[in-house]
Amino acid sequence: MKAVHTELHRSHDPQFFLVRGVVKRTTEQPERADRLLKGLNDGKHQLVEPTKFGQGPRARIHSPEYLSFLSEAWDAWTALGDSGPEMIGNIHPVRQAATYPTHIVGKLGWHTADTAAPIGPGTWAAACAATDVAVTAAQMVMDGEDATYALCRPPGHHAYRDMAGGFCFLNNSAIAAAHLRLKHERVVILDVDVHHGNGTQGIFYARPDVYTISIHADPTDYYPFVWGYAHERGEGAGLGTNLNIPLAIGTGDDGYIQAMDLVRKAIESFAPGALVIALGLDASEHDPLRGLAVTTPGFRRIGQAIARMDLPTVFVQEGGYLSDILGANLTSVLAGFEEAR
């Protein structure tokens, strides 16, 4: 399996975020990519540089106002003269009878869902590079590759059409799926991150052509708290094309594989032409956020289960934070896929 990667991700180097009222060092650091690259090297995967696709693929998913905000945010922020070293909103209007703001502080609040997506001087460039990585991987599958892996950083699955959140700015998995739709009538996104893929769900919630499925830690007790419940099934034309499988905190390998069996049946009924895996490795027993307890051999079993779905597959990197086991878990899931293919 070929892997798409660019060093341009390093321009995004967030230093802090706010969680439970505490300023903490973010775990979404450039070192994540270094550890993932080691996993790719250990698995002997060929690295491929991305093609630059421009704004088109991003504009299929994200609103013009949001893309404009992200591209101009840092210059407007620094022009204030009294702003901090990173952008974190101090107002979140939740859009109840609200007017779209013209001031950068208002726009920052409008376009962020939480305080866990700090914007710095290189965030826009890195986020754009990540979408090129995802689209390149999707295009390679459209051109005949059986499966590809996209090392995207920053991640994307918490990003809505016009909101950042949870370390995510542009929704790489959604952008990859929209690109695959140029060839396939129906596409599935299967999110195996420990956190619910709320942004992806929101983007496709009323669409019947992209089936969004997420296996994640129960949001009753875990981020994002207000999305990710089993009763969320889509709306309008998209009713029935969203499936959430929340798992009890601490669920391990066997419970996770049981959920994968439910996913396989749902995907078979939908009959898609291609599959996007929003690959979170933070379901690991060793992940610092500790929601689920999947072992390294368990990730191999997950890869095998994905392979048996027998679809052209694009793996898009989502979560999986700084732990000694991160690279080994990536090696394991891709090896399991290749073994079972």
Cβ neighbours of residue 1 under 8 Å, at least 6 residues apart?
45, 146, 147, 148, 149, 334, 337, 338
How far does CA 170 lie from the centroid of its chain?
9
51 touches 132 (CB < 8 A): yes
DSSP character for 309? Answer: T
Q: Which residue type does 271 have? A: A
Query: Of 54, 45, 56, 60, whose CA–CA distance to 3 is shortest?
Result: 45
d(Cα 328, Cα 97) in Å, to the nearest integer? 49
239 touches 233 (CB < 8 A): yes
Catalytic residues: 158
Q: Which helix (DSSP H) or strand (DSSP E) does residue 265 occupy? A: helix 253-270
Q: Which residue type does 18 have? A: L
Cβ neighbours of residue 329 under 8 Å, at least 6 residues apart?
39, 281, 284, 296, 299, 320
